[in-house]
Amino acid sequence: MASKPIVRVENLSVLLEGGGEPRPVLADISFDVAPRSVLGIIGESGSGKTVLSNALVNWIKLPLRVTSGQVLYQGRNLLGLPEHEMAKLRGREIAYIGANPTIALDPTIPVGHQIVEKLREVEPGISREAARKRVIDTLDAVRIPSAARRFDEYPFQFSGGMMQRAMIVDALVSNPKLLIADNITQPLDVTVAAQIIRLLRDLQSDFETSIVFISSALGVVSDIADDVIVINAGRIVERQTAARITSAPEHAYTRDLIAKVPRLWAAAETPEPTLLDDMMLEVRDVERTYVVPNHTKLFGENHVRAVRGVTFDVRRGESFGLIGESGCGKSTLSRLLSSIEQPDKGTIKVEGRDIAGLKGKPLLDMRRRFQLLLQDPYNAVPAHASVGRTIEEPLRIHGLASGAALKARVRDVMAEVGLSPDLYESLPVGLSAGQRQRINIARALILEPSLMILDETLSALDQVEQARLLALFEVLQRRHGITYLYISHDLTMVRRVCARIGVMYLGRIVELADNQTIFETPAHPYTRTLLSSILTVEPKPFRPETYLLEGEPPDPIHIPTGCSFRTRCPFAFDRCATDDPELAADADGNGAACHLAPGQMPPPTILPATTGPLAAPNA
């Protein structure tokens, strides 16, 4: 690199003060950012990477304090600049995009107008018409459909992915020399995140901006960056080119980090398939539509078809997974399965009994057979009741025990899920997310259910905690013979744990198969796209370039005719517009709702399938 770096950080140290002992957050950080390049910064949560990103725009506020070091931008120390000088750089030559796009703008003013406002702030000479035109053109460039109409829409009308694109427009519209992207893909769905990253790469070369890309996911960073820095506990531990960081890491921490990323294909852990035939859960043709007001017409209504005919079986003792991205209908399905809402059509049978029409006492009795575990550990456990009281409650409601026997049972369950008996009288306020989920599990387990529905139960936990709880689930399954239904968007977890998997899209199951088939020889283009978007360090059998999705899923109010996936499918042909494909199961119980014959999609690039429909022909 012959040219001067655009940013040079020298010996930066930041301290966290207030409320006790001062704690160092960053210690002696030094690095360069070359012009027109992408620098990736990887760190786990708590490593200090967000504080570093704030330092790069000189936004270190109390209780944080810079104790030493400089941030040199084109030779000037940003940390030493007076505020009005710094204000001339922020938003103009140095741009910043954060992790929460949906709350980044004023909710009461249209998105486009706010970007114009920013543009006219940083370029005072520009006229209103010229600003408007430039913003709409840039919105178009980031592939926001109907850019001119979207210009006048409000933040709440934008999805997460769209909003992040709008924030990218906001950042790039002033032609910055440096762009800092802090964790920008974390809240997004996998396929949407993949699109954003590809977009950013393209824009970077068009606009000649340098990017500092911060993330906790190794897969993301190695995809987009030229050079990579690894941060641990406020210090830089390794600096490498992106190409070499995964193949030849030098520092032990980096090696650890790489090892912790779960492997999906090479040397993957997969569960054993079940042998029992006893049906635990039978779902047939379940449908649910919501009616919401339509404000564009007088007294108008819209029909949101959240679930459009879902059919699957779960056998006793099995772990079944339902995966899909936001808007696929899995949350509605989980509400239907746990009987909080009734389906409009179809049947749901638990151990042979149809729960779809049950109310009152029969429903209460059935509730002992199956339980639901929810995602949010902070809101799922009431804050005002002690741990023991919360776990006692199911027994009290069903009148199953009282007095000393009640307390004894609660203590037993607490021990079984790994909660210390001392916590019986404590309030949940001080407990970690993992411990709170254990309270949830104990509360569900105490009724001795045969079926447990886990709706994104582990999504809010970090990797370590997830692994521990998955191990707990395994133990409980062996001991009590519980059947699990996992509803999740996390493909890596599902790969590890679920023997059979269903893929949902727009309220339907588009593919249903066993674990190996889904991950190695999937038959539906959407499944392949999902797999191609996963951020991982190993080579993927499905390349993102082949399975490129455009845009976002259609509105469940206006579902395309024929196959609902055809508007985004890279392989759609004319039959897809007229015929809605059925999910037809073959002899193994696997099937995909697609008109394509198995051989019509490009074969996976690494794994030579020796059996099954995609076996490479001998020639």
Partner 1 sequence: MTDIALSARPRNRSVAQRILAGAWTSTEMKVAVFIFAALAVLTVVAPFIIDASATKITVADRFLPPIFMEGGRYPYFLGTDQLGRDLLLRSLIGLRNAFAIGIVSVVIMFVIGCAIGIYSGYRGGWVDVILMRITDVQMSIPVVILAITILGMSRPNPFTVIAVLVLASWPAYARVARSVTLAERQKEYVRAAKILGASDIRIMALHIAPSILPSIAFVAVLDIARMMIFEAIFGFIGIGIQPPTPTFGTIISTGTQYLLNAWWITIVPGFLLALALTSLNLMGGVLERSRNLVLQGQL
Partner 2 sequence: MAFAIEFFLRRLSQGLLIVLLVAFVIFTLLRIAPGDPIRIILGPMATATAMEETARELGLRDPIPIQFGRFVMQVAGGDFGHSFIRGKQGGASGGSQDGAMELSQRASVMDLIATALPYTLILAGLGLLFSFLIAVPIGLAAGLNPNGWQQKLGLYMSSFFVSLPNIWVGVVLIYLLSAKSGLLPAIGYRNIAYAIIPALVVAIEMSPVMIRAISVSIASNVQEAYFNVGQVRGISRNKMIYRHVIRNAAVPLLNVFGAQMIGMLLGGLFVVEYIFSFPGIGLLTINAVFQRDFPIIQAVAILASAVLVLINILVDFASTTIDRRLKF
Binding interface with partner 2 (CB under 8 A): 57, 59, 87, 90-92, 95-96, 98, 100, 103-109, 117-118, 121-122, 154, 156, 170-171, 174, 293, 295-300
Positions in 313-352 near partner 1 (CB under 8 A): 338-340
Pairing of strands 235-241, 279-294: unpaired
Query: Does 421 engage in binding with partner 1 (CB under 8 A)?
Result: no
The CB-of-539 to partner 1 minimum distance in angstroms stands at 32
The CB-of-54 to partner 1 minimum distance in angstroms stands at 7
Q: Which amino acid is at 266?
A: A
Residue 101 vs 324, nearer CB to partner 2: 101
Which residues lie below 8 Å from residue 13, measured CB to CB, with a gap of 6+? 24, 26, 27, 28, 29, 66, 67, 68, 69
Query: Rounded to whole angstroms, how far apart are CA atoms 317 and 473?
Result: 12
* Sheet arrangement for strand 76-77: 23-33, 7-16, 64-73, 76-77
**What is the helix (H) or strand (E) element at residue 556, kind and residue range?**
none
What is the residue-wise DSSP string for 28-94? EEEEEE-TT-EEEEEE-TTSSHHHHHHHHTT---TTEEEEEEEEEETTEEGGGS-HHHHHHHBTTTE
SS3 for 373-412, per residue?
ECCCCCCCCCCCCCHHHHHHHHHHHHCCCCHHHHHHHHHH
295 binds, among partner 2, partner 1, none (CB under 5 to 8 A by kind): partner 2
372 binds, among partner 1, partner 2, none (CB under 5 to 8 A by kind): partner 1
445 binds, among partner 1, partner 2, none (CB under 5 to 8 A by kind): none
Query: Rounded to whole angstroms, how far apart are CA atoms 110 and 139?
Result: 14
Pairs from 112-115 (Cβ < 8 Å, separation ≥ 24):
112/136, 112/139, 112/150, 112/151, 112/152, 112/153, 113/151, 113/152, 114/170, 115/166, 115/169, 115/170, 115/173
Task: Give the dihedral sign, CA 274/279/281/282.
Answer: positive
Distances from the Cα of 569 to the Cα of 159, 551, 585, angstroms: 20, 11, 22
Residue closest to 206 by CA, chosen among 175, 185, 179: 175
Residue 170 vs 538, nearer CB to partner 1: 170
The CB-of-584 to partner 1 minimum distance in angstroms stands at 34
Query: Does 438 engage in binding with partner 1 (CB under 8 A)?
Result: no
381 binds, among partner 1, partner 2, none (CB under 5 to 8 A by kind): partner 1
Residue 171 vs 322, nearer CB to partner 2: 171
What is the phi/psi pair of residue 237, to 5°? -110, -20
Residue 274 vs 326, nearer CB to partner 1: 326
Question: How many chain residues interact with partner 1 (CB under 8 A)?
Answer: 48
Query: Does 90 engage in binding with partner 1 (CB under 8 A)?
Result: no
What is the residue-wise DSSP string for 572-592? --HHHHH--------TTS-EE
200 binds, among partner 2, partner 1, none (CB under 5 to 8 A by kind): none
Q: Which of 79, 261, 447, 607 binds partner 1 (CB under 8 A)?
A: 447
Q: Which of 66, 99, 181, 594 binds partner 1 (CB under 8 A)?
A: 99
Residue 104 vs 279, nearer CB to partner 2: 104
The CB-of-231 to partner 2 minimum distance in angstroms stands at 21
Q: Which of 98, 110, 187, 560 binds partner 1 (CB under 8 A)?
A: 98
Query: Rounded to whole angstroms, how far apart are CA atoms 145 and 148?
Result: 9
Look up residue 542 and give its two tokens: 């499905």
Q: Which of 243, 364, 415, 616 binds partner 1 (CB under 8 A)?
A: 364
Query: Rounded to whole angstroms, how far apart are CA atoms 168 and 418?
Result: 45
Residue 17 vs 579, nearer CB to partner 1: 17
Name the DSSP class of 158. S
The CB-of-582 to partner 2 minimum distance in angstroms stands at 36
Residue 18 vs 382, nearer CB to partner 2: 18
Look up residue 180 and give its two tokens: 């800092």
Residue 183 vs 564, nearer CB to partner 1: 183
How many Cβ atoms are within 10 Å of 285's Cβ, its own excluded? 12
Q: Which amino acid is at 14?
A: V
Spatial contact of 227 and 37, defined as CB atoms under 8 Å apart: yes
Query: Does 100 engage in binding with partner 1 (CB under 8 A)?
Result: yes
Query: Does 433 engage in binding with partner 1 (CB under 8 A)?
Result: no
Positions in 221-240 near partner 1 (CB under 8 A): none
Residue 124 vs 360, nearer CB to partner 2: 124
The CB-of-549 to partner 1 minimum distance in angstroms stands at 28
Query: Rounded to whole angstroms, how far apart are CA atoms 497 and 492?
Result: 9
How many Cβ atoms are within 10 Å of 246's Cβ, its own excluded? 18
Q: Which of 374, 410, 413, 512 binds partner 1 (CB under 8 A)?
A: 374
Contact map string, positions 388 to 417, toward partner 1, x by CB under 8 A: -----xx--xx-------------------
The CB-of-397 to partner 1 minimum distance in angstroms stands at 5
Residue 188 vs 230, nearer CB to partner 2: 188
The CB-of-331 to partner 1 minimum distance in angstroms stands at 11
Say how many CA atoms lie within 13 Å of 250 toward its Cβ. Answer: 11
Q: Which of 1, 266, 267, 429 binds partner 1 (CB under 8 A)?
A: 429
Residue 181 vs 518, nearer CB to partner 1: 181
Residue 447 vs 607, nearer CB to partner 1: 447
* Sheet arrangement for strand 353-354: 300-315, 279-294, 345-350, 353-354
436 binds, among partner 2, partner 1, none (CB under 5 to 8 A by kind): none
Q: At what angle do helices 387-398 and 403-417 cross, to 10 degrees?
A: 120
Query: Does 380 engage in binding with partner 1 (CB under 8 A)?
Result: yes
Contact map string, positions 35 to 64, toward partner 1, x by CB under 8 A: -----------x---xx--x----x---xx
The CB-of-47 to partner 2 minimum distance in angstroms stands at 22
Task: List contacts with partner 1 (CB under 8 A).
Answer: 16, 18-19, 23, 25, 46, 50-51, 54, 59, 63-64, 96, 98-100, 182-183, 338-340, 363-364, 367-368, 371-372, 374-376, 379-385, 393-394, 397-398, 426-427, 429-430, 440, 443, 447
